[in-house]
Amino acid sequence: MAENVLLQINDMYKNYGVTVALNHITFEVRRGEIRGLIGENGSGKSTVSSIMAGMQQATSGEMTYEGKPWKPSSTLEAQEAGIAMIVQETGTIPNITVAENLFLGHEELFSKGPFINRNKMFQQAQALLDELEIEIDPAARCGSIDMAKRKLVEIAKALYWKPKLFIVDETTTALSQAGRALLYKLMKKLAEEGGSVLFISHELDELMAQCDTLTILRDGMIVSNLEKSEFQSDAIKQMMVGREIKGNYYRSDMDGYSDEVVLQADCITTMKDLMCFSLDLHKGEILGIGGLSHCGMHTLGRALFGAEAVVDGQVVAREYDCVIRKPRIAMNCRIGYLSKDRDTESLSLGASIRDNIASTGYATNRLVGPFVSFRKEKRYVDEQIKALSLKCASQYHSVDTLSGGNKQKVAFGKWLACDSNILILDCPTRGIDIGVKAAMYQLIYEMKQAGKSIVLISEELPELIGMSDRILIMRDGEISCEVTRSEKPTEGNLINYMF
């Protein structure tokens, strides 16, 4: 069966100083299969895939690709050999066009001497997007399109080179439902044509539906390799986290909330998506907002925090009788916001964990005048590292070296640290494993019980149904359905209001 193996990893070890990311792992990817890779945040999934794709080198161990030793020195070398990877976070450059992103590093395909034939590049880009059924203007700058479309650009870029191994790292959480369906279709087509897919995700149901085989990682080691006939949800969860996780981890109560309105959107209109949109958020309420990716819910989250310009109407923090026009005003009214686009809007990637979490605690940690107490700030950050079980060497650890789930914890932790009374959470469990999701849902519920108010924006209906007191479904910038927890909504009921 050796000829059926596309890529083999033998006794691979990778460490970052004292941190062991991969602990002597061995596994293979076969031709024509979709192999899932699952594990907790920091289990080594992205590390092993990035080594395959030439983004970094292993400390020790070896790989063979198509029966030959494989040690790529760059992603371009891997790409030319037939290995393409969609990275977990942002993989496009915002200030250049979609077409330029698609062919980045391969401009010679369209050059004559020192000049690039841009018309030819745009035509080729349009042909590729049409072939993949992706509706994006190749002349648009990537910074002007939303996160879901940028991910589609990355998919198109990877598939242009007809890869033999297609690595998809935590990509579906950034896509709309239509984008997910398209990706599944393209993965299946590639596998049917004899290629291989390594599919990394935290969504177990998704992996079980799409994959032929599943490799489970925990603490940098491979726990098990399963064939499709061996997939069992509860057993896989237990192997992932090393303990048993049973049943539903959402809240099970029917607790109500206060009549007091703490945040109100009064007929707000934005430059895009929203036209005379209104809502009330009550004290102690978890208000779920759902819909398709382009329904306007992400714009709504930004508008409630003052990060999206409101051209008519107003957002009012009732406790302070204050109109929210800018994020600084929102923060002064003890409102926090966790963006879906974590890397560009919620975190400073080049800064440390300490700097990110402490960014909301100036008033708390001030010593005298403009000076901040070093000890207070250190204690302030350490409390969140401990509360959220952040995997890091110290609070001075750079955020850009963390796993996606640990980045999400930092983004969440800075608002917990400053004791926000209102939290606007846009896809808060994106890129987070099962165990951490359960802990985060518990934190959200404890905040509700403490009288805090949460706007929970999510593209995951089970999450909305499981956590919300009240759900608003949006379509084309308007509310198409409102339902309460006591009405026991189902996914089937709600999805009808999205189209």
pLDDT in tens, 457-477: 998 888 999 999 999 999 999
For residues 178 and 317, state if they share a domain.
Answer: no
Please tell me the predicted confidence (pLDDT) of residue 122.
Answer: 92
For residues 90 and 137, state if they share a domain.
Answer: yes
Two tokens at 390?
Answer: 């952040």
**Is residue 271 left, alpha or beta, with left meaning phi > 0 and alpha meaning psi from -120 to 50?**
alpha
Helix (H) or strand (E) holding 494: helix 491-495
Q: Which of 377, 459, 455 is nearest to 418 (CA)?
A: 377
Query: pLDDT above 70 covers what percent of the chain?
Result: 98
For residues 265 and 176, state if they share a domain.
Answer: no
Q: Does residue 156 sit within a domain?
A: yes
Residue 184 has pLDDT above 70, yes or no: yes
For residues 229 and 269, state if they share a domain.
Answer: no
Residue 434 has pLDDT above 80, yes or no: no
Q: Does residue 281 sit within a domain?
A: yes
Q: Which of 190, 208, 241 marks a domain boundary?
A: 241
Q: Which of 193, 211, 241 marks a domain boundary?
A: 241
Span 183-190, average pLDDT: 94
Please tell me the predicted confidence (pLDDT) of residue 257.
Answer: 94
Q: Are 282 and 257 in contact (CB under 8 A)?
A: yes
For residues 233 and 311, state if they share a domain.
Answer: no
Span 85-91, average pLDDT: 80
Q: Are 270 and 309 in contact (CB under 8 A)?
A: yes
Query: CA separation (Å) from 385 to 17, 24, 377?
Result: 20, 28, 13
* Separation between Cα atoms, residue 285 and residue 232, nearest integer Å: 35
Quickly tell me which residue has 């949460």 as its tokens.
Answer: 454
Query: Any idea what the CATH number is for the domain that residue 143 is in?
Result: 3.40.50.300
Residue 243 has pLDDT above 70, yes or no: no
Q: Does residue 289 sit within a domain?
A: yes
Least confident of 75-79, 119-123, 342-346: 342-346
For residues 393 and 304, state if they share a domain.
Answer: yes
Q: Are 47 and 21 in contact (CB under 8 A)?
A: yes
What integer best gives the mean pLDDT of the chain? 89
Q: Which of 241, 269, 288 marks a domain boundary?
A: 241
246: confidence class by pLDDT, cuts 50, 70, 90:
low
Report phi then psi at 400, rounded to 5: -70, -10
Least confident of 66-80, 169-183, 406-420: 169-183
The CB density around residue 387, as the number of other CB atoms within 10 Å, is 14
How many domains is the chain partitioned into structurally?
2
Please tell me the predicted confidence (pLDDT) of residue 85.
Answer: 92
Q: Does residue 110 sit within a domain?
A: yes
Please tell me the predicted confidence (pLDDT) of residue 29.
Answer: 94
For residues 16 and 85, state if they share a domain.
Answer: yes
For residues 227 and 320, state if they share a domain.
Answer: no
Per the confidence metrics, is the pTM higher than 0.75? no
248: confidence class by pLDDT, cuts 50, 70, 90:
low
Residue 165 has pLDDT above 90, yes or no: yes
* Separation between Cα atoms, residue 259 and residue 57, nearest integer Å: 57
Query: pLDDT above 90 covers what percent of the chain?
Result: 59
Span 372-376, average pLDDT: 90
Q: Which of 217, 233, 163, 168 is nearest to 193 (CA)?
A: 163
Please tell me the predicted confidence (pLDDT) of residue 310.
Answer: 95
Please tell me the predicted confidence (pLDDT) of residue 2.
Answer: 60
What DSSP state is assigned to residue 459?
Answer: S
For residues 270 and 237, state if they share a domain.
Answer: no
Span 314-338, average pLDDT: 95
* Separation between Cα atoms, residue 346 and residue 407, nearest integer Å: 10
Q: Does residue 248 sit within a domain?
A: no
For residues 161 and 210, state if they share a domain.
Answer: yes
Q: Does residue 323 sit within a domain?
A: yes
454: confidence class by pLDDT, cuts 50, 70, 90:
very high
Please tell me the predicted confidence (pLDDT) of residue 250.
Answer: 87
Residue 1 has pLDDT above 60, yes or no: no
Query: CA separation (Å) from 387 to 194, 199, 379, 495?
Result: 46, 31, 12, 35
Q: Does residue 252 sit within a domain?
A: no
Report phi then psi at 160, rounded to 5: -60, -35
Residue 53 has pLDDT above 60, yes or no: yes
Please tell me the predicted confidence (pLDDT) of residue 244.
Answer: 56
Q: Are 196 and 28 in contact (CB under 8 A)?
A: no
Q: Does residue 181 sit within a domain?
A: yes
Q: Which of 198, 203, 220 is nearest to 28 (CA)?
A: 198
Please tell me the predicted confidence (pLDDT) of residue 219.
Answer: 83
For residues 201 and 270, state if they share a domain.
Answer: no
Span 168-179, average pLDDT: 83
Residue 283 has pLDDT above 90, yes or no: yes
For residues 344 and 436, state if they share a domain.
Answer: yes
Range of the domain at 414: 261-495
Please tell me the predicted confidence (pLDDT) of residue 439.
Answer: 80
